[in-house]
Amino acid sequence: MFEELISKARALGASDVHLEAETPIVARIRGELQIVGGTLSAERLAQASQALLGAEGWALFGTRGSADMSVAIGGTRCRASFFQTVRGIAIAIRLLAPSVKDLRACNLHPDFRRLIEANSGLVIISGPTGSGKSTTLAALIEEINGSRARHLVTLESPLEYLFSNRRSFIRQREIPTHAPSFEQGIIDALRENPDVLVISEMLTPEVMRLTLNAAETGHLVLATMHSASCAEALSRLCMSFPAEIQGSIRAQLADCIVGVSCQRLDFVAAHRLRVPRCELLLPTSGVRGSIRSGNFSQLSNMLQAGGEEGMWTFDRYQRWMEQVTDWVQPAASSTIAPAVSVGSAASAGEGLRELAHGAALTRGKTAPPRTPMARTPTMPPAASKSTLGTASTAASSPADEIIEIPAEEMDLAQLAELAKKVIEPGTK
């Protein structure tokens, strides 16, 4: 079940797939949630989850009510999060890029290379959930891997991208598979002679404290955290500690900070591509002083005035994006396809067609009787590939034949759209 689902989601250009018992299948396509299939029974979803998690993972899921894992499904590497809801089991699946890319391939500005030029210090990659932080972190690792001989130790939960040693030597550790916690993993890593330490996410004050200590002791540390801006990331890090030690934490952060980025994903309609829009803060003397004094509100003004030092605001980065014409397109296997409705997803295969029909019934729609459509003129290529009805039938039917499309697979809006294409053959 998962292999077919991930294959269809990849073909539709989805970044995430959401499953829940007795709920239609939903995918995030170009940042928007769309129904792409019908409901799955609680029994079937439980059986498939148990098969994917295995005995040990299923036992952990039963005890904790949630479980995370990374796995290759149908040739696509995914990050899956299993959790319990009022309806039963739910799964959020993130489809990862087929291979690790550098900054250019991730459509990031070359100024991001400044973040890995230092030999020690802290680099923070921030942004909201689903904004591509892990991909940017992997791109920075790959930049180091291809340019310098360094020993990298990564701590991830779960492992997402798998790296091959090029010029650097990369040791990837998964929490809790290879270490019981991030705290213990960081303590162990400092004894493993790393040049670069990668922490997939800073969540607790103890992890943040150990991360700052590692950055102060001669290591370059790359870490991610959730925030809406660079200033918020730094403020949140400091405010995570008790008030009596926040002053020393700010001083420690000001001394070791190498750079902070915050990113969001924007859809570039002209290229049918989602591209990160970023904010980049670099540690000038003014920035370090504001961090040390706790005046995080002043950082936005310094970002505005720091263009010559290589800083970027969201607005300035947007203007740069508008001038770019040579965006790197994703691999063919992950090319973003046009947005589709439930009916078009149903035509992708017999299984999903049945699921889509089930989803229509769950929304309270009754299936009208089958009725033949009127005789249609010769369709242009774009119309002949319409995903309404059975695609193979539309593609192979001669112009003088009647094309029958089951009415229960369409709603009134789809019928009106098809009628428009019949009247106006040039409509795409």
d(CA 351, CA 43): 18
Q: Are residues 80 and 197 in the same domain?
A: no
User: Cα 325 to chain center, whole Å?
Assistant: 23
> Contact 44/62 with Cβ under 8 angstroms?
no
Task: Taking residues 261-266, report their average pLDDT.
Answer: 93
Q: Domain tally for the chain? A: 3
Q: Are residues 313 and 349 in the same domain?
A: no
pLDDT tens digits, one per residue of 61-73: 989 899 988 888 8
- Is the pLDDT at 411 greater than 90? The verdict is no
Q: Are residues 56 and 135 in the same domain?
A: no
| Residue 41: inside a domain | yes
> Contact 195/150 with Cβ under 8 angstroms?
yes
Q: In what order do the strands lie in the sheet with 24-29?
A: 32-39, 24-29, 14-20, 88-95, 76-85, 66-73
Contacts of 314 (CB under 8 A, 6+ apart): 264, 277, 278, 279
pLDDT band, very low/low/confident/very high, at 84 (cuts 50, 70, 90) = very high
Q: Quote the pLDDT of residue 343.
A: 32
d(CA 321, CA 300): 20
| Residue 104: inside a domain | no
Q: Quote the pLDDT of residue 4.
A: 86
Q: Quote the pLDDT of residue 417.
A: 64
Q: Are residues 354 and 305 in the same domain?
A: no
Q: Quote the pLDDT of residue 406.
A: 46
| Phi and psi at residue 33, to the nearest 5° | -80, 130
Q: Quote the pLDDT of residue 75.
A: 80
pLDDT tens digits, one per residue of 4-51: 888 888 888 888 999 999 899 999 988 788 998 888 889 989 998 998
Smallest Cα–Cα separation from 125: which of 212, 274, 233?
233
Q: Give, in order, the Cα–Cα distances in Å from 32 to each of 27, 78, 340, 362.
A: 8, 19, 11, 21
Q: Quote the pLDDT of residue 389.
A: 36
Q: Quote the pLDDT of residue 390.
A: 36
pLDDT tens digits, one per residue of 267-299: 888 888 889 999 999 999 999 999 999 999 999
Q: Are residues 266 and 148 in the same domain?
A: yes
Q: Are residues 182 and 325 in the same domain?
A: yes
How many CB atoms lie under 10 A from the CB of residue 59? 12
What interhelical angle do 246-256 and 230-239 show, nearest 10? 140
**Region class of 217: left (phi > 0), else alpha (psi between -120 and 50), else beta:** alpha
> Contact 377/398 with Cβ under 8 angstroms?
no
Q: Are residues 218 and 245 in the same domain?
A: yes
User: pTM of the full predicted structure?
Assistant: 0.69
Q: Quote the pLDDT of residue 421.
A: 57
pLDDT tens digits, one per residue of 330-343: 764 433 333 333 33
| Residue 369: inside a domain | yes
Q: Are residues 88 and 116 in the same domain?
A: no
What is the span of the domain harbouring residue 69?
2-98
pLDDT tens digits, one per residue of 316-372: 999 999 999 889 887 644 333 333 333 333 333 333 334 344 443 334 444 444 444
pLDDT band, very low/low/confident/very high, at 424 (cuts 50, 70, 90) = low
Q: Are residues 211 and 189 in the same domain?
A: yes
Indicate the helix (H) or strand (E) that contains 351.
Answer: helix 350-362
Smallest Cα–Cα separation from 81: which of 204, 255, 90, 348?
90
Q: Quote the pLDDT of residue 69.
A: 86
| Residue 428: inside a domain | no
Q: Are residues 251 and 156 in the same domain?
A: yes
User: Cα 402 to chain center, whole Å?
Assistant: 44
Q: Quote the pLDDT of residue 331.
A: 64
| Residue 339: inside a domain | no
| Residue 340: inside a domain | no
Q: In what order do the strands lie in the sheet with 196-199?
A: 169-174, 151-156, 196-199, 220-226, 121-127, 257-268, 273-281
Q: Are residues 321 and 412 in the same domain?
A: no
Q: Are residues 28 and 85 in the same domain?
A: yes
pLDDT tens digits, one per residue of 231-250: 999 999 999 999 999 999 99
| Residue 335: inside a domain | no
Q: Quote the pLDDT of residue 323.
A: 92
pLDDT tens digits, one per residue of 147-205: 999 999 999 988 888 899 999 999 999 988 899 999 999 999 999 999 999 999 999 99
Q: Quote the pLDDT of residue 353.
A: 39
Smallest Cα–Cα separation from 2: which of 36, 49, 37?
49
**Amino acid, res. 117:** E
pLDDT band, very low/low/confident/very high, at 420 (cuts 50, 70, 90) = low
d(CA 131, CA 278): 10
- Tokens representing 270 are 């002209």
> Contact 381/394 with Cβ under 8 angstroms?
no
